[in-house]
């Protein structure tokens, strides 16, 4: 049965899934970063958190990127696979409709009736194609062309064309006679997609086979069933892309950049305050002097020696 090529649309579907994974990772990473920011205390939001908390927050952002990207990838991949299977089923139904129209025309007697033997051949062919009873009933209820000349184009691929052509010839022979079937067969083959020379040659071959051998319709009917192409559902997550998105969000944390500016400003003020306090010569308690010296060392400020009064007070 005519179906979509297994490779058709594969690249587009993969690209769309990877793009969706990147987008999902970006959205969830930003959401995780904002959640981290909202869960901080006020001093942590203003000055900054400890290195261990920052490490946990970065892990949360990366995990959110992986989770969101995976969900988006699976959703798009599943939707793409469902669309492909729907196209396969649509193609199978259309092929069954064409075969039904061809065989119903072939099974029509010159007086417009359909003999029981010819009708049995049509239904047997549809059953062999795997058409359900409901679909079969609907196809048989559609208007039937009165003759081959009224039948529109119904192209079929090989080897389905050859099998349907032989079955149609048999139905014509049952509905009228082998001579009448041989006369109408070239026109029917042209509507099935063959050019005139090929149709004439094919009609002669079918007539010779019909008159010289015993045709077994069950063998021909077995050739009508063509399964839809198997499409394994493969999941190839773009983990590297999703991790890169998470790392990019961590590296471009605007709140952390603002806190760095705040910390630098506070450090500058403390340095100047330490320098001014130590240089003023104001007597200080030894504990205060120690604190000032330690803070200066931490901030990279070389404090001058304290006055003797400060050291002994």
Residues 193 and 292 in one domain: no
Report the C-alpha gap between 196 and 110 in whole angstroms: 24
Q: At what angle do helices 178-191 and 160-175 cross, to 10 degrees?
A: 140
The C-alpha atoms of residue 131 and residue 77 are separated, in whole angstroms, by 28
Do residue 29 and residue 157 come from a single domain? yes
My answer on whether 179 and 48 are in the same domain is: yes
- The band of 3, judged by pLDDT with boundaries at 50, 70 and 90, is very low
Range of weakest confidence among 18-32, 242-256, 283-297, 299-313: 299-313
What digits encode the pLDDT tens for the residues 62-121? 999 999 999 999 999 888 888 888 888 888 888 888 888 888 888 888 888 888 888 888
End-of-domain residue from the set 202, 222, 242 = 222
The model's pTM: 0.59
> Which helix (H) or strand (E) element contains residue 248?
helix 239-251
> With contact defined as beta carbons under 8 Å apart, do 68 and 29 qualify?
yes
Residues 126 and 189 in one domain: yes
Largest CA distance in the chain: 133
Tell whether 303 is covered by a domain: yes
Q: What percent of the chain has pLDDT over 70?
A: 68
239, part of any domain: no
Domain, as residue range, for 284: 254-312
Q: What is the arithmetic mean of pLDDT over 289-303?
A: 57
260 and 161 fall within a common domain: no
pLDDT digits (tens, 9 = 90+) for 213-246: 766 666 666 667 666 566 666 778 888 999 999 8
Shared-domain flag, residues 120 and 269:
no
- pLDDT by residue (tens digit) across 150-162? 888 888 888 888 8
Do 84 and 198 lie in one domain? The reply is yes
Co-location of 21 and 164 in the same domain: yes
Cα dist from 39 to 33, 63, 252, 254, whole Å: 10, 17, 19, 16
Cα dihedral sign, 15-18-22-27: positive
Match 């504990």 to its residue by tokens. Answer: 287
Q: How many domains does the chain have?
A: 2
62 and 18 in a common domain = yes
Backbone CA torsion sign across 157, 158, 164, 169: positive
Domain contains 4: no
């Amino acid at each position: 049965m005519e179906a979509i090529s297994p490779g058709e649309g594969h690249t587009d579907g993969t690209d769309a899934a990877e793009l969706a994974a990147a987008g999902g990772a970006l959205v969830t990473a930003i959401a995780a970063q904002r959640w981290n920011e909202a869960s901080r205390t006020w001093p942590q939001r203003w000055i900054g958190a400890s290195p261990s908390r920052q490490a946990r927050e970065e892990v949360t952002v990366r995990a959110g990127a992986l989770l969101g990207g995976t969900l988006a990838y699976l959703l798009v991949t599943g939707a793409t696979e469902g669309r492909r299977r729907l196209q396969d089923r649509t193609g199978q139904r259309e092929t069954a409709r064409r075969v039904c129209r061809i065989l119903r025309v072939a099974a029509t007697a010159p007086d417009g009736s359909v003999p029981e033997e010819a009708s049995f051949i049509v239904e047997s062919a549809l059953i062999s194609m795997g058409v359900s009873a409901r679909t079969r009933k609907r196809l048989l209820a559609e208007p039937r062309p009165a003759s081959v000349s009224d039948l529109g184009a119904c192209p079929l691929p090989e080897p389905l064309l050859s099998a349907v052509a032989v079955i149609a010839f048999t139905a014509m022979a049952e509905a009228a006679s082998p001579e009448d079937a041989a006369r109408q067969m070239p026109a029917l083959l042209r509507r099935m997609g063959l050019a005139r020379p090929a149709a004439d040659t094919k009609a002669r071959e079918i007539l010779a086979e019909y008159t010289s051998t015993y045709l077994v319709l069950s063998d021909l009917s077995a050739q009508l069933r063509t399964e839809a192409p198997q499409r394994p559902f493969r999941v190839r997550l773009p983990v590297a892309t999703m991790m890169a998105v998470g790392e990019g969000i961590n590296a471009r944390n605007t709140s952390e950049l603002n806190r760095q500016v705040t910390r630098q400003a506070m450090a500058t003020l403390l340095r100047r305050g330490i320098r001014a306090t130590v240089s003023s010569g104001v007597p200080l308690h030894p504990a205060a002097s120690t604190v000032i010296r330690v803070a200066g060392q931490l901030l990279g400020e070389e404090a001058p020696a304290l006055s003797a009064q400060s050291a002994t007070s």
